[in-house]
Amino acid sequence: MNTIAPTSLPPRIFEFCKKISTESPVILQVESEGFSETAECFNNVAIKIEKDGGTVAHGWLIWDWPGVFTEAEFHAVWRSPEDDMIDITPPYDGELLVVFLPDPSRTYKGRRVDSIRHAANENRMVQDFIRLCEANYVRFGQVRNGAQLEGHDAELYENFAKAKEFILDGIRAGANRNAPCLCGGGERYKRCHEPKLHKLITDLIGK
């Protein structure tokens, strides 16, 4: 995806964070350990505490696609015995600096938590993308990358993955719902793939 860690911390990032936590976002350097697994922050921090003491700090990683949307991803970092917060979990994209928003009101209870997303424009395709991600969490929130799904669920997850990439391609191309659909069928997106996407969202949430 096109999101980055907004390490310049523009005012709009602070405004986004205020809606989530009473704390302020901080910039942390990623210092992964030899045992650290990508995107497995809660397990990584638990191992680090067992090895070197300290505690866990729960919160959110902040990602930004300037002009498109901002996202908060539930996360945990290690708080050292000297009270320094250190992110020991390497992200998928290899970022060396990340933006972490501490959130003392949150704790990890063994279940994945959906990301918080906020559109930065009025493009309905961005809203459709956010709705699609939320619907997928409702259906498959505790399943990582469609693993161990069979039958209808496996097909539904595959349709979600394809729809997600399709709409992301449209957003990257600067398209909107009145633009010709990227499928090349000749219709506008709003009359072509938008209704199909809305049906998929309905199927995912089971309504």
pLDDT at residue 149, as a whole number: 86
Please choose, from the candidates 39, 48, 31, the residue with its C-alpha nearest in 3D space to the C-alpha of residue 91.
39
pLDDT at residue 103, as a whole number: 98
In a domain, 185, yes or no: yes
| Tokens of residue 35, six digits | 């045992």
N-term to C-term CA, the chain: 29
Q: In this structure, is the dihedral angle defined by the CA atoms of residues 117, 122, 128 and 131, taken in order, positive or negative?
A: positive
What range does the domain containing 199 cover? 122-205
Number of structural domains (the chain) is: 2
Task: Please indicate, yes or no, whether residues 83 and 153 belong to a single structural domain of this protein.
Answer: no
Q: Cβ atoms within 10 A of the Cβ of 113, count?
A: 16
pLDDT at residue 145, as a whole number: 65
Task: Please indicate, yes or no, whether residues 72 and 133 belong to a single structural domain of this protein.
Answer: no
In a domain, 4, yes or no: no
Task: From first to last of the 207 residues of the chain, give the pLDDT tens digit.
Answer: 689 999 999 999 999 999 999 999 999 999 999 999 998 999 999 999 999 999 999 999 999 999 999 999 999 999 999 999 999 999 888 889 999 999 999 999 999 999 999 999 999 999 999 999 999 999 998 887 656 788 999 999 999 999 999 999 999 999 999 999 999 999 999 999 999 999 999 999 985
pLDDT at residue 1, as a whole number: 67
Q: At what angle do helices 151-172 and 124-140 cross, to 10 degrees?
A: 160
End residue of a domain, out of 56, 71, 102:
102
In whole angstroms, what is the distance from residue 152 CA to residue 98 CA? 38
> Using the 8-state DSSP alphabet, how is residue 191 labeled?
G
pTM over 0.75: yes
In a domain, 149, yes or no: yes
